[in-house]
């Protein structure tokens, strides 16, 4: 009898332990699910990107992207879709507007203290990490029970900027890149143009749409442009750089260089365990210790162009030699870290931008002798060296082009100077405004495409202006983006000149004065003269020597009878 009671008691204990174990397991699973959700991972019901569903062996096509966006719209009211542009091959490029509440239009933000952050990806359609990461990020924000950031930010995302290039997916594209094995798109758009060289000439519908439907419509405080680099070998999967052109407001450059990007990089490393370094390449592969430098400061590159507009910009270059999943997730956490920083510092960012606009307008109202526009730069290192977690390299010379650089098996830490400070080397006085006596409709339209305030004289006037006499003009020997780029030499001189009614006037007392100067200055290294827009005016039909540049600099404040062109 005692044995039966003991056995029954033991069985009840075992049953109790089993029930407790099942209960504990269910509770643990529930806690894990909640924790996973809070860490921005998706549930099974959430839409997944092609990168996720293919176990990171493929990337999304255009239809995949639009289907993903539609799926989000069906389950969330926190995003709205606009059209950035229609591509050369007829595809509508989607622009996601995310907010809580989602603004119906920019005017709805009047009096709203949120700032706008704009993320674009796939501008080079062989560089697909940002496309997948930005879609994942949009999903994980809008489907979260308490969506983060949206009380302080409005987030714009164009996940497939180069929709035409994206549809040319092939495993033979970017073969030196580690995955995805099912292939990626091509660099150029449907016009065979590199969209990240179109920041000044604005010849593509994609970049024209960016200016018109993002910059002029939503005026984002920050642009993040996602790319993939295949340059020097290193371990860090994420690289970045800010706008570099010193003709923009230098306080913005200084803030990004000294505060914003170091803070984002630190957060990325400490919170998400992702390493990052400033974007660049070794200046000399035979002697890497000489230094590390990014690409140039010209505003044909969109992040530099945005700097001229007195806004913040980040170029994200994900590391091609890391595996595809590492690149996508590195980009994802980098974008997340950027949003976290912008949310935490949105008041400071807004104040920086307001101050830059105010200073630019005040300078144009009465330019002083100290107000200059740089036409030549020199590149200097920053105060602190940077650490590159790299490898020893073998450099094999080649008869033409870049040397062949191979990574050895042995890792090596490089402590190198960081050359990313472009400093004016030669400058010209910043004018009160520019006068164009015989502007073609094409020139006027180009100025308006950038969002500049453009006026025309409603009566003729004679003014003392500074002119530029061209002594030499040379076109490049090779085509670049459909142009033989010009270089000029000449001299400035003062003259009295009559400007007829209808002449164009572009004042520099406007927020986009730096863009105007870059477009119109004769010695600008990336202006309209460089891109052949003034070729027909520079040499007459029956004379071989070049003439005076057809844009004149009005140096002193002058009252003019004029009206705005809309």
Q: What is the 3-state secondary structure (H, E, C) of 282-325?
A: ECCCCCHHHCEECCCCCCCCHHHHHHHCCCEEEEEEEECCCCHH
Task: Assess contact for 515 and 452: CB atoms under 8 A.
Answer: yes
Q: Could you tell me the pTM of the whole model?
A: 0.90
Of the candidates 488, 491, 493, which has an alpha carbon nearest to the alpha carbon of residue 539? Answer: 488
Please say if the pLDDT value at position 32 is more than 60.
Answer: no
Task: Please state at what angle helix 324-344 crosses helix 261-272, rounded to 10 degrees.
Answer: 120
Cα four-point dihedral sign 324, 328, 333, 339:
positive
Paired sense of beta strands 115-121 and 222-229, if any:
parallel
How does residue 369 score in pLDDT terms, banded at 50, 70 and 90?
very high
Please say if the pLDDT value at position 270 is more than 50.
Answer: yes
| 265 and 404, same domain (yes or no) | no
Average pLDDT over residues 41-59: 85
Please say if the pLDDT value at position 226 is more than 60.
Answer: yes
Average pLDDT over residues 337-354: 98
Lowest average pLDDT, out of 97-101, 331-335, 394-398, goes to 394-398
Domain that residue 404 falls in: 383-424
Identify the residue whose tokens are 């970045």: 240
Whether 374 is in a domain gets the answer no
- Looking at residue 30, its pLDDT comes to 40
Tell me how far CA of residue 315 lies from CA of 24, 241, 279, 349, 477, in angstroms: 47, 5, 8, 18, 30
| 435 and 418, same domain (yes or no) | no
Tell me how far CA of residue 324 lies from CA of 58, 141, 207, 294, in angstroms: 9, 23, 27, 23
Per-residue pLDDT reduced to its tens digit, 51-78: 999 999 999 999 999 999 999 999 999 9
Please say if the pLDDT value at position 29 is more than 50.
Answer: no
Number of structural domains (the chain) is: 3
Whether 20 is in a domain gets the answer no
Where does a domain end: 374, 393, 424?
A: 424
| 450 and 388, same domain (yes or no) | no
| 420 and 456, same domain (yes or no) | no
Burial class (CB in 10 A: 0-12, 13-18, 19+), 398: exposed
CATH number at residue 250: 3.40.630.10
How does residue 402 score in pLDDT terms, banded at 50, 70 and 90?
confident
Whether 122 is in a domain gets the answer yes
% of residues, the chain, pLDDT over 70: 91
Please say if the pLDDT value at position 17 is more than 50.
Answer: no
Burial class (CB in 10 A: 0-12, 13-18, 19+), 552: buried
DSSP conformational letter for 213: I
Task: Please state at what angle helix 513-520 crosses helix 346-365, rounded to 10 degrees.
Answer: 60
Where does a domain end: 424, 441, 475?
A: 424
Average pLDDT over residues 410-424: 96
Whether 375 is in a domain gets the answer no
| 336 and 460, same domain (yes or no) | no
| 317 and 395, same domain (yes or no) | no
| 360 and 440, same domain (yes or no) | no
Percent helix, percent strand, percent coil in the chain, to nearest 5? 35, 25, 40
Whether 180 is in a domain gets the answer yes
| 412 and 343, same domain (yes or no) | no
Task: Assess contact for 50 and 324: CB atoms under 8 A.
Answer: no
Per-residue pLDDT reduced to its tens digit, 448-485: 999 999 999 999 999 999 999 999 999 999 999 999 99
Q: Specify the higher pLDDT residue, 441 or 448.
A: 448
The continuous run of DSSP H or E covering 415 comes out as strand 404-416
- Looking at residue 544, its pLDDT comes to 66
As a whole number of angstroms, the distance between CA 141 and CA 305 comes to 29
Per-residue pLDDT reduced to its tens digit, 492-549: 999 999 999 999 999 999 999 999 999 999 999 999 999 999 998 887 656 666 789 9
- Looking at residue 543, its pLDDT comes to 63
- Looking at residue 398, its pLDDT comes to 84
How does residue 287 score in pLDDT terms, banded at 50, 70 and 90?
very high
Average pLDDT over residues 381-393: 94
| 120 and 215, same domain (yes or no) | yes
Please say if the pLDDT value at position 16 is more than 90.
Answer: no
Of the candidates 464, 471, 465, 475, which has an alpha carbon nearest to the alpha carbon of residue 491? Answer: 471
As a whole number of angstroms, the distance between CA 517 and CA 481 comes to 22
Per-residue pLDDT reduced to its tens digit, 291-344: 999 999 999 999 999 999 999 999 999 998 999 999 999 999 999 999 999 999
Q: Where are the beta strands (DSSP E) in 159-302?
A: 222-229, 238-242, 276-278, 281-282, 292-293
Task: Please state at what angle helix 324-344 crosses helix 346-365, rounded to 10 degrees.
Answer: 70
As a whole number of angstroms, the distance between CA 379 and CA 128 comes to 31
Whether 70 is in a domain gets the answer yes
Average pLDDT over residues 436-451: 91
Whether 39 is in a domain gets the answer no
Q: Specify the higher pLDDT residue, 441 or 52.
A: 52
As a whole number of angstroms, the distance between CA 200 and CA 92 comes to 23
| 398 and 436, same domain (yes or no) | no
How does residue 407 score in pLDDT terms, banded at 50, 70 and 90?
confident
| 417 and 483, same domain (yes or no) | no
Burial class (CB in 10 A: 0-12, 13-18, 19+), 83: exposed
Whether 530 is in a domain gets the answer yes
Identify the residue whose tokens are 């860490």: 39
| 97 and 198, same domain (yes or no) | yes
Tell me how far CA of residue 503 lies from CA of 44, 194, 269, 434, 458, in angstroms: 63, 34, 55, 10, 8
How does residue 25 score in pLDDT terms, banded at 50, 70 and 90?
very low
- Looking at residue 15, its pLDDT comes to 46
Cis, peptide link before residue 180, omega less than 30° from 0: yes
Please give the mean pLDDT across all residues of the chain.
91
């Amino acid at each position: 009898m005692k044995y039966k009671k003991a056995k029954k008691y033991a069985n009840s204990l075992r049953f109790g332990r089993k029930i407790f174990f099942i209960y504990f397991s269910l509770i643990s699973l529930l806690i894990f699910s909640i924790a996973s959700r809070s860490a921005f991972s998706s549930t099974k019901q959430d839409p997944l990107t092609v990168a996720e569903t293919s176990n990171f062996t493929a990337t999304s096509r255009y239809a995949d992207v639009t289907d993903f966006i539609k799926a989000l719209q069906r389950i969330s009211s926190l995003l709205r879709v606009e059209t950035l542009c229609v591509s050369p091959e007829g595809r509508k490029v989607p622009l996601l507007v995310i907010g809580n509440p989602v603004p119906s239009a920019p005017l709805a933000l009047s009096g709203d203290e949120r700032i706008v952050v704009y993320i674009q990806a796939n501008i080079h359609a062989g560089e697909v990490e940002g496309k997948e990461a930005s879609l994942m990020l949009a999903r994980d924000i809008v489907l979260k029970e308490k969506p983060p950031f949206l009380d302080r930010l409005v987030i714009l995302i164009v996940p497939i900027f180069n929709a035409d290039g994206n549809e040319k997916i092939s495993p033979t594209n970017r073969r030196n890149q580690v995955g995805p094995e099912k292939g990626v798109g091509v660099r150029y758009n449907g016009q065979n143009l590199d969209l990240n060289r179109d920041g000044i000439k604005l010849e593509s519908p994609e970049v024209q749409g960016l200016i018109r439907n993002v910059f002029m419509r939503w005026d984002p405080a920050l642009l993040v442009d996602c790319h993939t680099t295949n340059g020097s070998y290193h371990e860090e999967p994420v690289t970045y750089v800010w706008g570099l052109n010193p003709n923009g407001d230098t306080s913005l450059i200084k803030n990004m260089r000294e505060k914003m990007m170091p803070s984002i990089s630190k957060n990325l490393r400490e919170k998400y365990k992702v390493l990052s370094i400033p974007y660049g390449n070794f200046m000399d592969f035979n002697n890497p210790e000489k230094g590390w430098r990014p690409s140039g400061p010209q505003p044909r590159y969109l992040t530099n162009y945005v700097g001229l507009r007195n806004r913040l910009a980040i170029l994200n270059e994900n590391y091609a030699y890391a595996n595809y999943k590492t690149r996508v997730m590195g980009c994802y956490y980098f974008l997340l870290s950027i949003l976290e920083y912008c949310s935490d510092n949105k008041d400071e960012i807004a104040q920086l931008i307001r101050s830059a606009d105010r200073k630019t307008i005040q300078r144009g109202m009465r330019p002083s002798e100290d107000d200059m526009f740089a036409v030549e730069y020199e590149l200097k290192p920053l105060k602190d060296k940077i650490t590159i977690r790299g490898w020893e390299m073998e450099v094999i010379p080649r008869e033409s082009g870049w040397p062949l650089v191979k990574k050895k098996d042995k890792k090596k830490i490089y402590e190198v100077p960081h050359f990313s400070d472009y400093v004016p080397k030669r400058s010209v006085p910043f004018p009160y405004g520019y006068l164009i006596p015989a502007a073609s409709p094409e020139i006027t339209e180009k100025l308006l495409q950038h969002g500049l305030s453009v006026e025309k004289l409603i009566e003729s006037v004679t003014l003392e202006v500074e002119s530029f006499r061209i002594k030499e003009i040379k076109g490049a020997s090779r085509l670049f983006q459909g142009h033989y780029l010009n270089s000029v030499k000449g001299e400035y001189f003062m003259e009295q000149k009559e400007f007829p009614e209808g002449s164009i006037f572009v004042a520099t007392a406007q927020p986009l004065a730096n863009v105007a100067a870059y477009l119109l200055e004769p010695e600008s290294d990336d202006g309209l003269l460089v891109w052949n827009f003034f070729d027909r005016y520079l040499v007459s039909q029956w004379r071989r020597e070049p003439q005076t540049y057809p844009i004149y600099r009005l140096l002193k404040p002058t009252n003019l009878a004029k009206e705005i062109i809309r």
